[in-house]
Amino acid sequence: MSSINRQVLTLDEFTIQQLRNFPKATGELSSLLRDIGLAAKRINVEVNKAGLVDILGDHGSVNVQGEEVKKLDVFANNQMMGVLRHGISCAGIGSEEMDDIVVFDDEVSNQSKYVVLFDPLDGSGNIDVNVSIGTIFSVYRRVSELGKPCKKEDFLQPGIRQIAAGYVIYGSSTMLVYATRRGVNGFTLDPSIGEFCLSHPDIKTPEFGKIYSVNHGNFFQYEEGVRKYINLCQQKNKENGGPYTQRYIGSMVSDVHRNLIKGGIFMYPGMKEKPKGKLRLLYECNPFAFILEVAGGKATDGQQRVLDIEPTDLHERSPFFVGSRGMMEELEACMKS
Ligand code: P6P
């Protein structure tokens, strides 16, 4: 193996190394994270072929290998469900792609410690224009007695009880970023060895950034405090911490990942016609809220800390503001004034 690979930890090596810090750990969380890494590698292969669908056959058709070509988000959902079902750590899942939870209900799964919620392919509307997309996941320890997990106790938990959360970004490179309470770490897929390798250890988000991300097209639908903050961002200059730049890809994983690394704020506010906004609490807002808080940032729904929200429905939506602590505090001041 070349010298460069010898010094770089793979995701598998990192998760196993973390076990040393928890002698009582059973290794189930490490195993679950490796399972998600496997699904991510399989999804990555198909995402990278997306542009060739016309050659390989349209979704719903049968390709040259005689396999049915599935829509990418259905494919991604099946990959995530498959690795979690066949692993040792997950008792059941909730997915953006499926109306209700799926309980695995077999002898091993019913003894498993965790449940997982995920958005298998967020931003899939961007696939046909080759914009980065992502997978988002959220891990909870089950609360109910062992056996079949139940929706209310095990899946509708507040985000503060997440054991781990993360995302995969299928971009110029493919990265898996996940957080536990011990920190946020980023792994970049090295195609030459087919492994996620630790490339961004112990990620901390800057207290301030110069990037604000929001859909300006909805400006006049936002509440006054949000409009006031957006105007403040536009008035920033060299004398008061600016100038700011507006960056909005329309793919949450890409926008939030960029702001996590560089510093910035991402906003998907509620609107007059959609007071709860568009983003889903359990598998879009909560995971990123957890990741940003561990990295030193903040996340609210405009009124309260996202991680404190008590969910009532698997697919409920929430207004979402997340990013650098200093910028979030400026937003909060505008919303209170
Ligand atoms: P809009 C993608 O469809 C998504 O769910 C997020 O990834 C993204 O941040 C948001 O919607 C974009 O929504 O209404 O600004 O196009």
ipTM: 0.95
Q: Is 284 annotated as a binding residue?
A: yes
- Of the CA atoms within 13 Å of residue 187, those in its CB half-sphere come to 29
Structure tokens at 88: 């040792």
Q: Is the CB of 218 under 6 A from ligand 1?
A: no
Q: Is 121 annotated as a binding residue?
A: yes
| Partners of residue 184 on adjacent β-strands | 179
Backbone angles phi, psi at 97, to 5 degrees: -85, -10
Share of the chain above pLDDT 70, in %: 92
Mutate which of 119, 169, 252 for ligand 1? The one with the most ligand atoms within 8 Å of its CB, which is: 252
Closest by Cα among 133, 137, 134, 142 to 94? 137
Phi-psi group of 287: left, alpha or beta (phi > 0 → left; psi -120 to 50 → alpha; rest → beta): alpha
**Residues whose CB is less than 8 angstroms from the CB of residue 36 and which lie 6 or more positions away in sequence, other chains included:** 80, 83, 84, 116, 137, 166, 168, 176
Model pLDDT, residue 110: 86
Please compute the mean of the pLDDT values over residues 268-272 and round it to a whole number.
Answer: 96
Distance 123 CA to ligand 1 centre (A): 6
Q: Is the CB of 215 under 6 A from ligand 1?
A: yes
Q: Is the CB of 119 under 6 A from ligand 1?
A: no
Q: Is 248 annotated as a binding residue?
A: yes
Q: Is the CB of 250 under 6 A from ligand 1?
A: yes
Residue pair 205/263 in contact (Cβ under 8 Å)? The answer is: yes
Across 11-20, 43-52, 199-208, the highest mean pLDDT is recorded for 199-208
The pLDDT tens digits for 4-34 are: 455 789 999 999 888 887 778 788 999 999 9
Q: Is 255 annotated as a binding residue?
A: no
For residue 165, pLDDT over 70 is answered with: yes
Distance 311 CA to ligand 1 centre (A): 21
Model pLDDT, residue 158: 98
Q: Is the CB of 125 under 6 A from ligand 1?
A: yes
The pLDDT tens digits for 207-237 are: 999 999 999 999 999 999 999 999 999 999 9
Model pLDDT, residue 25: 79
Q: Is 63 annotated as a binding residue?
A: no
> Which amino acid, residue 213?
S
Q: Is the CB of 123 under 6 A from ligand 1?
A: yes
Q: What average pLDDT is seen over the chain?
A: 92
For residue 331, pLDDT over 70 is answered with: yes
Question: What's the rounded Cα separation, in Å, for the pair 71 and 312?
Answer: 30
Share of the chain above pLDDT 90, in %: 78
Backbone angles phi, psi at 174, to 5 degrees: -100, 125
Distance 295 CA to ligand 1 centre (A): 23
Model pLDDT, residue 20: 81
The pLDDT tens digits for 294-316 are: 999 999 999 999 999 999 999 99
Residue pair 84/116 in contact (Cβ under 8 Å)? The answer is: yes
Higher per-residue pLDDT: 60 or 176: 176
- Which pTM was predicted? 0.94
Q: List, in sequence order, every beta strand (DSSP E) within the chain.
A: 90-95, 102-103, 114-122, 133-141, 162-170, 174-180, 183-190, 195-200, 211-213, 245-246, 265-268, 298-300, 320-323
